[in-house]
Amino acid sequence: MRLLVVTQYFWPENFRINDLVSELAKRGHQVTVLTGQPNYPDGKIFPEFLANKEAFASYEGIEVIRAPLISRGKGGLRLVLNYFSFALNATILGLWRLRHKEFDAIFAFEPSPITVALPAIALRTQKRIPFTFWVQDLWPETLEAIGIIRSKKTLNIIGKLVSFIYKRCDLILAQSKSFIEKIKPYSHRNQNIEYFPNWAEQINETQNIAPASEIISKADTFNIMFAGNIGDAQDFPAILAAANILKNQKHIRWLIVGDGRLAHWVTDEIKCLGLQDQVLMLGRHPSERMPSFFKHADALLVTLKDEPIFSMTIPSKLQAYLAAGIPILAMLNGEGAAVVKQADAGLTCPAGNYQELAAAVLQLSEMSPEKREQMGINGIMLSNTEFNRDKLINQLEHWLSTVMYNQTNTKRLMLKEAE
């Protein structure tokens, strides 16, 4: 297949779409990526990109076309400008740069914003080819949940934009089963919507990997590791409240690997609470280095705020945690928590309940090594079945082929009727 992938975020930014694009190319598909200038999560265009843009015009032999955008910066207004500047510039650039290129299908990746679909829809119209949309984040619900937009009038306008987008998709893929019912009211009655979860990125043999040197090993320490985005949705006030409850449990240590919009606030709050010895901020590191950090972890922490929309979400880091074979501590509601419970891959507590999180940390730390090891094995087993990478990408290929076939047949019928 000749595939056009539209995504606001792409390498050297660290998102699941990088792995998907790489694998599709390895399977023999001709892939072109239309994306933005890298600026996530720091909010500034990467200096290495500005120094040599040509070095980022190809990824593993795949052509990468980059639209200019206003960097994320700080604050809600800057974020809105970031979203819409990409949508506008990618539409204009895509229609012009790709006007003579032929594609069989368009695939768009949406971890937020949903406006990434607008250039894909414009190109769908120009090329008359099917458009598949992978929904990772629900709008307008998420915008309201994290407080970016509170005006009901504005949320209703965004809801109309969401409906405009969904009704122009030939296939919508939802990252959790719960998403499907939320998507339906904005889409056509018989819209094709399928469950398509994330998977864990391939982890190479970790037995001989040395533990990350950034972390000083301490005997008789129980390490809880959080890896990923440090933002509003992850509810760091609750995480730090749990750490504060366990402040006198000197064997408990919290390791935070990642970065994001709240990273500076978290660092300041750690100092205010006097948690510098218990909570370590380790910064952002490439995904390929995560196995070396996981070597230090006795438990992996995943959290989302206590909001209805987040109870429908399976955090993308959860699949990576399951594949790592380390017990999981989940301060979540809904579908994400159910995954951990059903697999017996760790302990869960309600979103936002820092008292129960603190209790779960102590419970897990006092558990026998054999029981914790079994939880890790259970996680691997689930990862290898429901979140199996090869199986999921095989399914995606089948769906893309099906929408292509259906559109080809529709065109043939229209030509026959016109004769």
Q: Which amino acid is at 249?
A: Q
pLDDT for 203 beyond 80:
no
Residue 154, token pair as written in the block? 């504005």
Per-position DSSP letters for 37-56, written without gaps between them: ---TTTSS--HHHHH-GGGG
pLDDT of amino acid 400: 96
Instruction: Please count the helices (runs of H) and the strands (runs of E) in the chain.
Output: 15, 14
The packing angle between helices 334-343 and 316-324, to 10°, is 10
387-408: pLDDT as tens digits = 999 999 999 999 999 998 887 6
Q: Are 239 and 354 in contact (CB under 8 A)?
A: yes
Residue 157, token pair as written in the block? 């306008």
Q: Are 2 and 30 in contact (CB under 8 A)?
A: yes
Give, for 126, the enclosing helix (H) or strand (E): helix 117-127
- In this structure, the strands spanning 279-281 and 62-67 are unpaired
Mean pLDDT of all residues in 227-231:
92
Residue among 320, 241, 232 nearest 278 (CA)? 241
Helix H segments across 260-388?
A: 263-273, 290-294, 316-324, 334-343, 354-366, 369-385
Residue among 319, 290, 27 nearest 196 (CA)? 319
6-62: pLDDT as tens digits = 999 999 998 999 999 999 999 999 999 999 999 998 889 999 999 999 999 999 999
Name the pLDDT band for 411 (thresholds 50, 70, 90). Answer: low
Q: Are 230 and 202 in contact (CB under 8 A)?
A: no
Distances 55 to 25, 60, 63 between C-alpha atoms, Å? 19, 11, 11
pLDDT for 295 beyond 80:
yes
Q: Are 239 and 273 in contact (CB under 8 A)?
A: no
Q: Are 130 and 404 in contact (CB under 8 A)?
A: yes
Return d(Cα 142, Cα 308) in angstroms, integer: 9
Q: Are 296 and 211 in contact (CB under 8 A)?
A: yes
> Could you give the count of Cα atoms lying within 13 Å of 210 in the half-sphere of its Cβ?
5
Under DSSP, the state recorded for 344 is T
Helix H segments across 198-300?
A: 236-245, 263-273, 290-294
Residue among 291, 378, 258, 254 nearest 327 (CA)? 378
Q: Which amino acid is at 360?
A: A
Q: Taking the model in full, what pTM does it have?
A: 0.86
416 exposure class (CB count in 10 Å sphere: 0-12, 13-18, 19+): exposed
Mean pLDDT of all residues in 246-265:
94
**Coil, helix or strand for 221?**
coil
Residue 32, token pair as written in the block? 């072109």
Name the pLDDT band for 189 (thresholds 50, 70, 90). Answer: confident
In this structure, the chain runs to a length of 419
Distance, first Cα to last Cα, the chain: 30
Return d(Cα 292, Cα 295) in angstroms, integer: 5
pLDDT of amino acid 144: 81
101-157: pLDDT as tens digits = 999 999 999 998 999 999 999 999 999 999 999 999 999 988 888 777 778 898 999
pLDDT for 99 beyond 70:
yes
308-335: pLDDT as tens digits = 989 999 998 999 999 999 999 999 999 9
Q: Is the link from the previous residue into 113 a cis peptide, with omega within 30 of 0?
A: yes
Name the pLDDT band for 76 (thresholds 50, 70, 90). Answer: confident
